[in-house]
Structure 1
């Protein structure tokens, strides 16, 4: 069972919390510490109730008040915490698709790591907020085999995990080999079909049989037989199927590696995983990089933004 770092407050009083948010933003200056404390000590569902209580009591929108009082990355993370994880996903997908260019890394991260149920919720929110379907936008903004991968994932037709069939796993492993390393060309459609349809339990059995058959992990052959965003998408599915927290640990490290920090990625992942599996992600981060996630966040971020992220990570 996965565990997050943020839990619902046991003694919850939406009106009192709303009053606390109001007090933190009135008078001379803003009490960022009070805002951090209220937001990180309530679940997103409770934060929604706080926002409703705030509007009822003061006739003002809490998000708009936060935008007026705060700025920069600290504002972004506070505002994001007042949305549900799936609302965040829908908006981040739209942002990745809209405007000049496409942020394929965001598409890969969200589309490969969400469950059937989560994808169904994302699609419903997306259509309601943007008056078009996610599938239509993916089709118009991506192309080739990567576009097919995104549309296939959008269908959220992955088989449910109900154990595994080793005979079928051996057959699928053979098909993957013949579609990739075992042929002169690469049959991307065959790889796509297996990776997008099979349950995570079955995929893990297929990966085991593939390595038994070929003598090396499937990831090595995907990396050598495919390229670009399609390779990134296929590799993401494999890593998510093997152990999702490790996938997110790598994504967080990538967000802070190199020149500059990808704050959008850092905020999105930490906020959306905070009530899901952030504890496991922290453990994997420590194993992979021999340094805690909190240490790297402290090194790469600053000010109230850093304090907020560290309060979520705990």
Structure 2
């Protein structure tokens, strides 16, 4: 069953977990915190280290993956789909096969486990591709080969002509505080809002120095101790942009992203910049969790709302990105990169008009390291950058989205630094964009974004915030940078 078909016949509506979160393998960790006595686990369990598709997709029957280590039998074996991130099916039942039991849960890793390789085993393998054939055919089609490297959230990648073993380390500005006492923090917040007046400094220092998970625990303890909703109290004690920022900090990030996407597509007009910023930067797993949160909150499928509010080739691009089906391995196949570069050249500059479908297919399905290699090969073939080619061949929202993907592949922190600069330059401030980036990136790479901002514009991000914002709103934003 498609997990987003719940509520439609014959699929019963499932219970929605309000504290749904992203996997702990992502730098921004929103789900499954370490359990505390008397506190329910939030979100999905962290993917087990042995699974080739360790992305934690929502399961069709509940909010948690099945406890069985192998899916049910009597289904055809489908190797590419297992590595691609679809719910795995077709693995033989452990009790009925000759495979030895693994010491830990999860599928064995081919590269390091003691399990026999398909070509070396005594089990019949009718119709299975040999390892060498599967290796050659899977890389280019968007299916990551089995690797001991776990799936990680996509960061900036430099152009490389060889394998990229790991994503570079990022610099968050907000990290989980340790030791952490949510009841003590709840008491501090209660004292700050009790009686006449509000101690905004205490509120800022607590909420900007805790991770998203920890803030949710504080809200849980706050309601337990005082019988009041923390968000409601914060809204009653604050106002304006400061209130908006505090509410954003207290919202589980999948729900926050879902609300941003919903607001961008509802009403008159569409905020395409929000769609581009979110859909072009999220990992597969993050997109899947956002889709589930969106359906639970608004009763519609995110894909349907995106398709209903966009048109033309931009609609097709958003639909492709909404599938959350990009390859996420770190292996770079240079020969396939050359083929793709030639395909992009033939679909654009070497023909009258442009075949948008080729650009859509390549930029929405190849992994970020592979795309970096494709862009390098394109420049080698043509003598100019692919960004220049996209500007010449496309226009409007489609051009902005394709160029955003190119920027994210090359340097994701720089992409967000440019977005922050755009939100504050000129007259007025795009506070919603500023809040969204500061809140969602502070636990991922806001330190890198700040460095890129200063490198490109010659001024610090903090100085721009101080010059463009004021009051407690400014202090809270600086607190997310670790400067208050």
Q: TM range, normalised to the smaller chain?
A: over 0.9
- The answer for unaligned runs of 5 or more in structure 1 is none
Among candidates 74, 85, 91, match of residue 253 of structure 2: 85
2:265 matched to 1:97? yes
Cα distance between partner residues in 1 of 2:189 and 2:428:
32
Any idea what the Cα deviations from partners look like across 1:170-228, whole Å, max 9, x if unmatched? Answer: 11011111111221101111101100000001000000000001111100110111011
Aligned pair count? 314
Q: Provide TM-score, normalisation by structure 2.
A: 0.64
2:368 alignment partner in structure 1: 200
1:313 alignment partner in structure 2: 481
Among candidates 129, 136, 139, match of residue 307 of structure 2: 139
1:100 CA displacement: 1.3
1:170 alignment partner in structure 2: 338
Cα distance between partner residues in 1 of 2:310 and 2:430:
22
Q: What SS class does the counterpart of residue 292 from structure 2 fall into?
A: helix
Cα distance between partner residues in 2 of 1:258 and 1:183:
40
2:195 alignment partner in structure 1: 27
2:350 alignment partner in structure 1: 182
- Superposed counterparts of 1:36-75, under 5 Å: 36-75=204-243
Higher relative contact order (CA 8 A, sep 6+): 1
Any idea what the Cα deviations from partners look like across 1:215-258, whole Å, max 9, x if unmatched? Answer: 11100110111011000000000111111111101111111112
1:110 CA displacement: 0.2
Cα distance between partner residues in 1 of 2:400 and 2:196:
49
1:110 alignment partner in structure 2: 278
Cα distance between partner residues in 1 of 2:350 and 2:283:
31
1:62 CA displacement: 0.6
1:85 CA displacement: 2.5
Any idea what the Cα deviations from partners look like across 1:8-43, whole Å, max 9, x if unmatched? Answer: 110211111111111111122111101000101111
2:421 alignment partner in structure 1: 253
1:76 CA displacement: 0.5
Cα distance between partner residues in 1 of 2:355 and 2:478:
45
> CA RMSD for the aligned pairs?
0.8
Higher helix share: 1
Among candidates 281, 290, 306, match of residue 449 of structure 2: 281
2:298 matched to 1:130? yes
1:87 CA displacement: 2.0
Q: Rg larger in 1 or in 2? A: 2
1:265 CA displacement: 0.2
- The answer for unaligned runs of 5 or more in structure 2 is 1-168
1:230 alignment partner in structure 2: 398
Q: Provide TM-score, normalisation by structure 1.
A: 0.98
